[in-house]
A and B are shown apart, each in its own frame.
Chain A
């Protein structure tokens, strides 16, 4: 049986450890998606926390018709869209460079990498959110078009179009920013 289903059943049976296992398993994935979409470390953590609180409060309504990750990513998308509706501007260079409890893997933990990534986040900021969301699920999470279409509740053709347009936008923004152009 799917590991996630076991954790869910454990939680629904009254053992909160099941929920904690789900959080441990998905926390970095959720955080990276949120961070790529809004570009703020501190607020990304808050949104990730909000996402898991929604999972905690609504796990009983999960029917298992889709994979747990699909259901979870839908909550992530809704939380991010809610956040962006509430905020006009999403990211600036300083926020993108600063971090809170987050740590960065590997030997690339240096200022140049952070600055380059700040530039990428700055460029991503100007990509419309629905295009960017499809792109992030593809390029950061490595999901297939069909999986993305289930998360975003749209057709595969729409996913393809959004990713294509996101790349066109992003290419233009990076060239405009004069940074590491493609």
Chain B
């Protein structure tokens, strides 16, 4: 007669009706004479009943469809916003450039306008007997514009 250990190992498969006809006949013959293996089978049957008898969960028909639709729309919207914000980010990066140029221009103009125009420096230089520089000439011209 087939050993109990071997039968017990096959009982789960037997219970699931996943066993060949020959093995099935052999197990049934063993079960008819073995109370221990029969008890094991009834325990497994009960266990299977507990698991398969668990209450089925049901969702409202369109509950998940609606959630998925929302999620897909949100993703699409975020992708659009993201691509727009990319343009925004690029524009924001460009903002300091004109501002910098403008500030530098203002600083330059202020600097020029507050510079004391030493109208006499060229003359002083000429009188001192040394050669006049371009800077001195420029200074004289700008000074004369003020």
Binding site for B on A (CB under 8 A): 20, 23-24, 27-28, 31-32, 35-36, 41, 44-45, 48-49, 52-53, 56, 99, 101-106, 108-109, 113, 117, 120, 135-136, 138-140, 142, 144-145, 160, 163-164, 167, 170-171, 174, 180, 182
Judge whether B114 is part of the interface by a CB distance below 8 angstroms. Answer: no
Any A CB within 8 A of the CB of B54:
yes
Report the nearest A residue to B75, measured CB to CB: A53
- Nearest-neighbor residue (CB-CB) of A135 within chain B: B51
- Asked if A104 meets B12 with Cβ closer than 8 Å, knowing A23-B68, A49-B71, A142-B52, the reply is no
Q: Chain B contacts of A56 at CB under 8 A?
A: 68, 72
User: Number of B interface residues, CB 8 Å?
Assistant: 30
Residue B2 interfacial (CB < 8 Å):
no
* Cβ contacts A to B, 14 pairs, < 8 Å: A24-B65, A27-B59, A49-B64, A53-B71, A102-B58, A117-B55, A139-B51, A160-B13, A164-B9, A164-B13, A167-B44, A171-B43, A171-B47, A180-B50
Give Cα A137–Cα B50 distance, bound, in whole angstroms: 14
A70: min CB distance to chain B, Å: 18
A48 partner, pick from B9, B60, B64, beta carbons under 8 A: B64
Kindly list chain B residues whose C-beta atoms are within 8 Å of the C-beta of A53.
68, 71-72
A residues near B63, Cβ cutoff 8 Å:
27, 101
Q: Is the CB of A140 within 8 A of B58?
A: no
Residues on A with C-beta less than 8 A from B52 are: 139-140, 142
Residues of A near B125 (CB, < 8 A) are none
Q: Which residue of A lies closest to B71 (CB)?
A: A53
B residues with a Cβ closer than 8 A to A are 9, 12-13, 16, 18, 43-44, 46-48, 50-52, 54-65, 67-69, 71-72
Cα separation A56 to B76 with both chains bound (whole Å) = 13
A117 to chain B: closest CB distance in Å? 6
| Inter-subunit contact A167/B12 (CB<8 Å) | yes
**A145 contact from B18, B43, B46, Cβ within 8 A:** B18
Given contacts A27-B64, A56-B68, contact A170 B47 (CB under 8 A): yes
Of B13, B47, B69, chain A has the most CB atoms within 10 Å of the CB of B47
Assuming the contacts A27-B59, A142-B52, asked whether A167 and B47 have C-beta atoms less than 8 A apart, the reply is yes
Beta-carbon contact of B12 and A23 below 8 Å: no
| Inter-chain contact B65/A120, CB cutoff 8 Å | no
Contact across chains for A160 and B57 when beta carbons are under 8 A apart: no
* In contact, A160 and B18 (Cβ under 8 angstroms): yes
Q: Contact partner of B59 among A31, A145, A171, CB < 8 A?
A: A31
B37 to chain A, nearest CB (A): 14
